[in-house]
Structure 1
Amino acid sequence: MQVSIEPGCIGCGLCASTCPAVFEMNAEGLACVTAQPGPSDEEAAREAAGNCPANVIRAE
């Protein structure tokens, strides 16, 4: 699985709280991908993508 964040993040932090192994908030207050998910993190990464209010997280 590959995870990416497209432009348009609103900085809500939901992804970082849902899947901290993959996402964190940067100095600008926007989400960034810190690591690609391992097998144990794939479900949480998909959940973060599905719950993103800006719909900018891709988990494929």
Structure 2
Amino acid sequence: MPQRTPAARVCRACDGFPVVAVTTGTRRTDGTRATLRVTCPACQGTGHTRPAAAVRAGR
């Protein structure tokens, strides 16, 4: 019987698409467009959230 692995938490900020290419609108001399690669600041480009750290409350 296969083992079930816990599902990885998908980043809420980027919905699992951590790196995108944004066109600047300008064209290079060879006809291609200039693009910028932007990573998600919430997950640092991983696409997954980190598990919540244990926090001690009280005394």
Task: Give the alignment's TM-score, normalised by structure 1.
Answer: 0.25
Larger radius of gyration: 2
Query: Structure 1 or 2: larger helix share?
Result: 1
Q: Which has the higher strand share?
A: 2
Greater length-normalized contact order (CA 8 Å, ≥ 6 residues apart): 1
Question: TM-score w.r.t. structure 2 length?
Answer: 0.25
